[in-house]
Amino acid sequence: MADVDQGSVLPSETSPLILDGLNATDSNGTDAVNATVAKFVATPEGTALAYGSLVFMALLPIFFGALRSVNCGKSKVAGENGCDYEYRNSSDMPETITGRDAARFPIIASCTLFGLYLFFKIFSQEYINLLLSMYFFVLGILALSHTMSPFMNRIFPANIPIKQYQLLFTQGSGETKEEIVNYEFDTKDMICLVISTVVGVWYILKKHWIANNLFGLAFALNGVELLHLNNVSTGCILLGGLFVYDVFWVFGTNVMVTVAKSFEAPIKLVFPQDLFEKGLGANQFAMLGLGDIVIPGNCLMFSLYPAPSSLKKNTRTYFYTSFLAYIFGLGMTIWVMHTFKHAQPALLYLVPACIGFPVVVALLKGELTEMFRYEEVSPEDAAAKEETTEAEKKAK
């Protein structure tokens, strides 16, 4: 996938949906799992709260990431049509996933996953996690700052002057000059960066689950907002490939579960099952991999984009159908995991639901062919095409 930051999205596929009783780190930041300690048994109330919170947190970045992507588009002028910010930097611009990208994605994810597994087996887990923590510290600050921007634009006092800044690093001179970093920001962005840095320092020092979730939600929302599918077939290829990937690495090996337990980075959402007993200091978690949010979320978001005239009146129907399908698939995963007491590959249940539900709706409406012919159209292109069509009608 061209120019996509692998660290912020792709590694999120290295964690399964849920692990019961996952123990957090101790005060020294080392793994506190001890096989000699009796297995934690969560209360029904604690279990229900943890699972319910994970489902709720999973829905937030999907819903708001999809709406932000559709409202803003790729080249919206700030403030128009409900868009509260503009994409000033190339790193903030949406990326389109093609069929070729979708076919390669499971291979890249598998190599990344197995590479991490070997690293944890060969090298000290403590040093690896230290390097990863610093890497995700920087990524998390940028992701959380981008996530906060629309909210900051709404509440920022109008009487405070807004100054523009630019961070520019170049290489060479004259005609050979090449930009290495070109980051534009303003006063509001500075405030977002300061707040995000505070959260980052909190995460680095304490590895607290709330700080982890703030970064995780920001990564997920940015993944849904900034990664687009070019058509429905690409979504099917992507989900189908990751279906095999998820099932193989969870059921076929212990690689994914090992990496998920060892990997101390905000690439998963967690919620404590012992919150009632230990409060905010709880350390027995159920968890949800970000890949199980971002990938289905991209497919859901695609159904919100301006559709051909034959599908336009039903676009939100497909989005709401896919949204319900995601909830159903996630609920099935949790039910099976809770029944059989084993980590489950979420895409085993999410893929059939997220593909099957919209296909059934399309069949009932007689729109299956149109749905698979549906290509991504930006809001600007859709509006221009609609104006052209209206002009042609009037000319006739």
pLDDT value of residue 173: 80
**pTM (2 decimals)?**
0.80
Determine the Cα–Cα distance for residues 78 and 80; give it in Å rounded to an integer: 6
For residue 312, the tally of other CB atoms under 10 A from its CB is 12
What's the count of helices (H) and strands (E) in the chain, helices before strands? 15, 7
DSSP state of 81: G
Catalytic residue chosen out of the listed positions 189, 246, 274, 381: 246
Whether 381 is a known active-site residue: answer: no
**pLDDT of the chain, 396 residues: tens digit per residue:** 433 333 333 333 333 444 444 443 333 344 443 443 456 677 889 989 999 999 999 999 998 888 887 776 544 434 444 455 555 555 566 778 888 899 999 999 999 999 989 998 898 888 888 888 899 999 999 999 999 988 888 888 888 888 888 888 888 887 788 887 787 888 888 999 999 999 999 999 988 999 999 999 999 999 998 888 878 888 889 999 999 998 898 888 889 888 877 888 898 899 999 899 888 888 888 888 898 899 888 888 766 654 544 455 556 788 888 899 999 999 999 899 888 877 788 888 999 999 999 899 889 888 888 778 777 655 555 555 555 655 566 665
- Rounded to whole angstroms, the Cα distance separating 209 from 67 reads 27
Among the listed residues 20, 101, 274, 292, the single catalytic one is: 292
Residues in the chain: 396
Question: What whole-number distance in Å separates Cα of residue 337 and Cα of residue 345?
Answer: 9
C-alpha to C-alpha distance for 23 and 111, rounded to whole angstroms: 27
Q: What is the DSSP string of 175-202?
A: GG-EEEEEEEEEHHHHHHHHHHHHHHHH
* 1-to-96, 105, 115, 146, 220 alpha-carbon distances in Å: 9, 8, 19, 21, 17
Round to whole Å and give the CA distance between 266 and 281: 18
Q: What residues are paired with 89 via a beta bridge?
A: none
246 flagged as catalytic: yes
